[in-house]
């Protein structure tokens, strides 16, 4: 709580009040800015996100086994710390004797591909439509926003299922479906930000100065919405990972031999009572990945969006 | 002369923050007699609002207090939470700076008036309604019965400040704290509200502490003035005496910054320099960096209060020859 | 007031029309339905005849208008598989899903509101930290996995609750906890932040100055002011619940809409998919409309 309410003082000092301590106003080097940005970052979370990225990108070099190689000798072997487990299959083996750890690592790859591309596409479409709606206004704005409303009104998973049923279950199609089901929130976010930025002095000034519209949008409006987009995108990575896993779990996502955490869960379900690790391991993989992404997103929000400091 | 209703003795209020300990109020002593209107004047951030909230003990739990706040002879700093709650709203009340945001927008004015009566007085619901109407009438709100059913957004700023004043004075408090009560209002409305304060003082004998940076308001209404700078009181005295013969260079600068009659209001003569950071005050006089008459001693030693006539003090080495009080 | 309602209704109608456009395109994206309906040995003449019968030989706008006209009369086509009206099929399963969603919502609100409020007024306490963890964790848990784990623990290992099916209240507990988990976390988080924001208002300060007890300040004033964002969010969560029910129902063999949909997708029963998507989307729109109209009661400043 601030000790002093701000006042419109008749006695305002000539110099703008500036804290004596704290960062100076001189131009900071890029490195200093980067350091101050990273300062206070949740380290463990960062490590987990990094682990996820490394696993996803370098899967073939990291995975101890071929994820598709079945060996009936080790079928349903438990994790190494459980009696009967071995360190060769550290997280156990599934019903066909495939290494769970290796499959989790390859599963990370699919999760990353789907969520990353889906958000890039959804974000781009959303940004363009949101900027257009917010900046042009009028009938175009109403039209776009009603479409956005319509997409937001559709039950998320049902809509995704409908599109998957229509398009098919290849990885590309899953990406497209995720993009279709996610773009609307970016459009709404960007439009809202544009409307609030638009009224500020510097944009009005640029208009008066006769700058072309697209230039104003590009130079003045977009940088102001970037932070919000980064925050939403980080949080969305997690959401899309869960959504993809949900589709796979229902058997309506990517099909074997593709490896998805959701598929692993669905397969392991029948063995739940005899081999819990088949369901628990992929579940934990999803949980920890999404959890770290969410913590990261929250941290970014605290860091980049001063209006949300209250969180 | 009547016994003071409020006596503050070397009150310190320190607020721990990330940047360090803010000495928002630093050894303040003064007293207020019943029916007296005392102005507290200073620039933004000088600690005058914190002083008010210290008096009613409504700062965050982390705030550190020392000294004594004697209200009717009892130390408020020794009171429990519940005892303080009973005092607030009944014996000590406060009017805030911005009437536009001080009422809950989702309840009617009547609801909020009755609620205050419910928790501060022993009345039946019927009595509360009658009293609420009476309270509105006292602050000259026309057709108060109908106004009870209004929501805050259906009232003007001046009207809301009247309602808030009614809430703050309806139970005949001994002391009313007014934190910049007119800053957010139009000039004509300001006049009316100030008139209302004077009337309340005359009718109820309520002592009023009026926090403001508007010296015009002070001259119009206050019996006595405390000039605050960087958490301390640097000059006190009767209003006229201070306006006629300011003793502290800071007070002089403040008075010089009042626009003269006919002069444009925007062309204010500001005081050069900025108010000091309350986390790390220098050992000497806190005004020294901005003072046109700074001396060597000002840099090293904080001045004690020097008597400057009856009821007048100033903390400035220029008056050393008069001797400390 | 009336003007606002009319405008809001119009908006909802326009949005609903776009929903039907999306659902219609969904059906047209699937390609030639005769490949699904008719046996593989059907002749090209049969197919052409069939297409004409379904109106597929006409232009897309014409087809859409027919679709819309039929939909307005409650005709969403006939299930390929069951040979009965798709809408009837969906509506017959809707109550089970609504029961599940309502139970989840009730559970979420009962848990989330108190802890959100307490976390806000005891900011920085263990309870607050715990609430924030619950909020983040809850929003990171995959629903279906939580369902499986709960089932494994409470149905399989402990045997306290039935693992699947619909019946008495004991059948409802696990699915409702599973489905409500995410929403509880989300609502707790929003309640906390809205309450924190409201507690910083000037009027809260004034009420403290006026000697009101903290309990009244929090529960009567801060909470009612925070109600609009919280209730709006709850309406949004209801959509999340309707959608999430598809997965939860699958885990617990709950005989609701979700089961029909998954089955319909596996058998390419498009009319049923369309009907399910349309019905849930409309339900969601109606709830949001109702909530919007509720605002004027919550906040007298909204005078349309």
How near does any CA of chain A get to the CA of C281, in Å? 5
Question: Mutate which of C206, C207, C218, C301 to disrupt the B interface (most B C-beta within 10 Å)?
Answer: C206
Is A186 a residue whose pLDDT tops 60?
yes
Domain B6-91+173-260+268-322 -> CATH class: alpha beta
| pTM greater than the 0.90 cutoff | no
Question: What are A77-112's pLDDT values in tens digits?
Answer: 777 777 777 777 777 777 777 888 888 888 888 888
Q: Which two tokens stand for residue B56?
A: 């009613």
- The predicted structure's pLDDT at residue B193: 86
Nearest to C76 by CA among C116, C35, C121, C19: C19
Query: Token pair for residue B162?
Result: 């009247």
Taking CB atoms and an 8 Å limit, are C22 and A290 in contact across chains?
no
Per-residue pLDDT for B135 more than 80?
A: yes
Give the tens place of pLDDT for each residue, A260-306. 888 888 888 888 888 888 888 888 989 998 998 888 888 888 777 65
Torsion of CA C20, C22, C23, C24, to 10 degrees: 80
Mean pLDDT, range C286-301, rounded to an integer: 80
Higher pLDDT, B309 or B57: B57
Which pairs from A124-128 meet CB under 8 Å and 24+ separation? A125/A179, A125/A183, A125/A186, A125/A187, A126/A182, A126/A183, A126/A184, A126/A185, A126/A186, A126/A187, A126/A188, A126/A189, A126/A190, A127/A186, A127/A187, A127/A190, A127/A222, A127/A225, A127/A229
**Count of Cβ atoms closer than 10 Å to residue A49 Cβ:** 19
- Residue C108: the pLDDT is 93
Q: Is B168 at the interface with chain C, CB within 8 A?
A: yes
For residue range C11-52, what is the model confidence (pLDDT) as tens digits?
888 888 888 888 888 777 766 666 666 777 777 777 787 777
**Average pLDDT over chain A, rounded to an integer:** 77
Which residues of chain A make contact with C158, given a CB cutoff of 8 A?
A: none
Enumerate the residues of chain C whose CB falls inside 8 A of the CB of residue B103: 203, 206
* DSSP code per residue over chain A: --SS-----TT--SSPP--SSS--SSPPPHHHHHHHHHTT--HHHHHHHHHHHHHHHTHHHH-SS-TT---GGGTTPPPTTSTT--TTSTT-B-TT--BHHHHHHHHHHHHHHHHHHHHHHHHHHHHHHHHHHHHH-HHHHHHHHHHHHHHHHS-HHHHHHHHHHHH-SSHHHHHHHHHHHHHHHHHHHHHHHHHHHHTSHHHHHHHHTT--HHHHIIIIIHHHHHHHHHHHHHHHHHHHHHHHHHHHHTT-SS-TTS--HHHHHHHHGGGTTT-THHHHHHHHHHHHHHHHHHHHHHHHHHHH-GGGTT-
Is A12 at the interface with chain B, CB within 8 A?
Answer: yes
Q: For position B299, what pLDDT does the model report?
A: 83
For the ranges A199-213, A221-235, B60-74, C70-84, the one whose mean pLDDT is highest: B60-74
Q: Is C123 on the interface with B (CB under 8 A)?
A: no
| pLDDT tens by residue, B42-77 | 887 788 888 888 988 888 888 888 888 998 888 988
Chain B hits for A6, CB-CB cut-off 8 Å, are 44
DSSP class of residue C217 equals: I
* Tokens coding C219: 């529960």
CB contact A39 to B (< 8 Å): no
In angstroms, the CA A265 to CA A85 distance is: 20
| Residue A26: pLDDT over 80 | no
Q: Rounded to whole angstroms, how far apart are CA atoms B155 and B149? A: 11
Identify all chain A residues contacting B97, using CB atoms and an 8 Å cutoff.
Answer: 5, 7
CB contact under 8 Å between B119 and C213, yes or no, is yes
Residues of C in contact with A252 (CB under 8 A): 262, 265-266
Taking only the tens place, the pLDDT of each residue in B194-203 is 888 898 899 8
Residue of B nearest to A12 (CA): B270
B270 and A8 within 8 Å at the Cβ level: the answer is no
Residue A227 to chain C, least CA–CA distance (Å): 20
> Taking residues B200-213, what's their average pLDDT?
89
Closest chain B C-alpha to A14 CA, distance in angstroms? 6
What pLDDT score does C36 carry?
66
- Is the model's pLDDT at C55 over the cut of 50? yes
A245 vs C contacts (CB less than 8 Å): 142, 144
Taking CB atoms and an 8 Å limit, are C277 and A295 in contact across chains? no
Domain boundaries, chain B: 6-91+173-260+268-322, 92-172
Contact A128, A191 (CB under 8 A): no
Write out chain B residues lying below 8 Å of C221, CB-based: 104, 107
B97 touches chain A (CB under 8 A): yes
C157 Cβ contact list (under 8 Å, min separation 6): none
Chain C contact present for B107, CB below 8 A: yes
Q: Of the given ranges (A41-50, A113-122, C148-157), which has the lowest mean pLDDT?
A: A41-50
**What's the gap in Å between the CA of B180 and the closest CA on chain A?**
9
Measured CA to CA, the distance from residue C84 to residue C89 in angstroms comes to 7
Q: How far is A15 from chain B (nearest CA, A)?
A: 6
Q: In this complex, is the C-beta atom of C232 within 8 Å of any C-beta atom belonging to chain A?
A: no
Domains of chain C and CATH, by start: 86-298 (1.10.3720.10)
Of B144, B155, B5, nearest to B71 by C-alpha is B5
- Taking only residues 258 to 287 of chain B, the set having a beta carbon closer than 8 angstroms to any beta carbon of chain A reads 268, 270-275, 277, 279-280
Residue located via tokens 């409201």: C198
């Amino acid at each position: 709580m601030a000790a002093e309410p701000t006042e419109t003082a008749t006695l305002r000092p000539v110099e703008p009040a500036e804290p004596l301590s704290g960062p100076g106003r001189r131009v900071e080097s890029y490195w200093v800015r980067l350091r101050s940005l990273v300062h206070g970052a949740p380290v463990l979370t960062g490590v987990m996100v990094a682990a996820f990225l490394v696993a996803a990108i370098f899967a073939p070099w990291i995975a101890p086994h071929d994820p598709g190689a079945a060996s009936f000798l080790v079928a349903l072997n438990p994790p190494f710390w459980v009696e009967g487990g071995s360190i060769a299959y550290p997280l156990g083996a599934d019903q066909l004797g495939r290494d769970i750890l290796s499959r989790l690592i390859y599963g990370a790859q699919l999760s990353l591909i789907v969520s990353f591309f889906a958000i890039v596409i959804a974000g781009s479409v959303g940004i363009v439509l949101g900027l257009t709606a917010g900046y042009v206004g009028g009938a175009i704005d109403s039209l776009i926003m009603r479409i956005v409303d319509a997409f937001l009104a559709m039950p998320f998973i049902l809509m995704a299922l409908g599109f998957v049923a229509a398009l098919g279950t290849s990885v590309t199609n899953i990406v497209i479906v995720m993009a279709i089901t996610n773009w609307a929130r970016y459009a709404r976010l960007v439009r809202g930000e544009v409307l609030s930025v638009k009224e500020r002095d510097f944009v009005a000034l640029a208009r008066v100065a006769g700058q072309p519209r697209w230039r104003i949008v590009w130079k003045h409006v977009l940088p102001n919405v970037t932070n919000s987009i980064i925050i939403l995108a980080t949080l969305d990575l997690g959401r899309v990972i869960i959504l993809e896993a949900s589709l796979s779990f229902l058997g309506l996502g990517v099909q074997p031999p593709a490896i998805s955490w959701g598929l692993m869960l669905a397969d392991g379900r029948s063995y739940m009572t005899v081999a819990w690790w088949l369901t628990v391991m992929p579940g934990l993989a999803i949980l920890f990945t999404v959890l770290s992404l969410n913590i990261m997103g929250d941290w970014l929000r605290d860091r980049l969006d001063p209006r949300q400091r209250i969180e | 002369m009547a016994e003071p209703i409020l006596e503050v003795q070397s009150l310190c209020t320190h607020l721990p923050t990330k940047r360090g300990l803010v000495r928002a109020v630093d050894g303040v002593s003064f007293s207020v007699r019943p029916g007296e209107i005392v102005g507290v004047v200073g620039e933004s951030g000088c600690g005058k609002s914190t002083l008010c909230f210290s008096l009613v003990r409504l700062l965050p739990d982390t705030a550190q207090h020392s000294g004594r706040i004697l209200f009717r002879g009892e130390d408020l700093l020794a009171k429990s939470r519940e005892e303080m709650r009973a005092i607030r709203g009944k014996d000590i009340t406060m009017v805030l700076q911005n009437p536009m945001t001080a009422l809950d927008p989702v309840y009617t004015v009547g609801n909020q008036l009755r609620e205050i009566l419910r928790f501060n007085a022993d009345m039946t619901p019927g009595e509360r309604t009658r009293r609420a109407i009476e309270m509105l009438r006292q602050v000259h709100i026309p057709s108060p019965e109908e106004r009870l059913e209004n929501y805050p957004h259906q009232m003007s700023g001046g009207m809301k400040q009247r309602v808030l004043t009614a809430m703050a004075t309806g139970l005949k408090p001994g002391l009313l704290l007014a934190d910049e009560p007119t800053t957010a209002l139009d000039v004509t409305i300001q006049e009316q509200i100030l008139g209302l304060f004077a009337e309340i003082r005359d009718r109820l004998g309520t002592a009023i502490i009026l926090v403001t940076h508007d010296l015009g308001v002070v001259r119009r209404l206050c019996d006595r003035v405390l000039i605050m700078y960087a958490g301390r009181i640097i000059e006190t005295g009767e209003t006229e005496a201070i306006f006629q013969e300011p003793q502290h260079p800071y007070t002089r600068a403040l008075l010089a910054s009042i626009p003269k009659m006919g002069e444009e209001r925007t062309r204010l003569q500001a005081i050069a320099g900025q108010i000091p950071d309350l986390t790390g005050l220098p050992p000497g006089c806190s005004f020294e960096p901005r003072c046109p008459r700074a001396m060597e001693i000002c840099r090293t030693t904080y001045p004690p209060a020097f008597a400057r006539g009856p009821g007048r003090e100033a903390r400035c080495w220029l008056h050393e020859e008069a001797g400390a009080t | 007031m009336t003007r606002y309602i009319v405008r809001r209704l119009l908006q909802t109608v326009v949005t609903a029309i776009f929903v039907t456009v999306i659902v219609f395109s969904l059906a047209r994206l699937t390609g030639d339905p005769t490949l699904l309906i008719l046996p593989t040995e059907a002749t090209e003449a049969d197919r052409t005849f069939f297409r004409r019968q379904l109106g597929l030989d006409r232009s897309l706008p014409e087809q859409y208008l027919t679709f819309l006209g039929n939909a307005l009369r409650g005709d969403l086509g006939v299930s390929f598989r069951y040979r009965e009206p798709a809408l009837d099929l969906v509506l017959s399963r809707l109550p089970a899903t609504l029961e599940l969603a309502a139970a989840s919502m009730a559970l979420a609100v009962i848990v989330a509101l108190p802890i959100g409020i307490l976390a806000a007024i005891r900011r920085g306490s263990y309870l607050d930290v715990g609430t924030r963890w619950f909020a983040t964790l809850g929003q990171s848990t995959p629903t279906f996995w939580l369902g499986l784990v709960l089932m494994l623990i409470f149905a399989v290992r402990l045997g306290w609750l039935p693992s699947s099916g619909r019946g008495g209240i004991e059948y409802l507990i696990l699915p409702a906890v599973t489905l409500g988990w995410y929403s509880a976390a989300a609502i707790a988080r929003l309640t906390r932040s809205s309450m924190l924001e409201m507690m910083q208002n000037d009027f809260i300060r004034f009420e403290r100055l006026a000697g009101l007890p903290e309990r009244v300040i929090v529960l009567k004033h801060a909470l009612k002011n925070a109600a609009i964002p919280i209730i709006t969010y709850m309406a949004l969560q209801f959509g999340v619940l309707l959608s999430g029910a598809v997965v939860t129902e699958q885990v617990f063999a709950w005989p609701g809409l979700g089961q029909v949909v998954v089955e319909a997708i596996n058998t390419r029963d498009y009319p049923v998919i369309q009907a399910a998507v349309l019905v849930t989307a409309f339900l969601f729109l109606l709830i949001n409309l109702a909530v919007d109209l509720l605002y004027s009661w919550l906040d007298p400043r909204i005078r349309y």
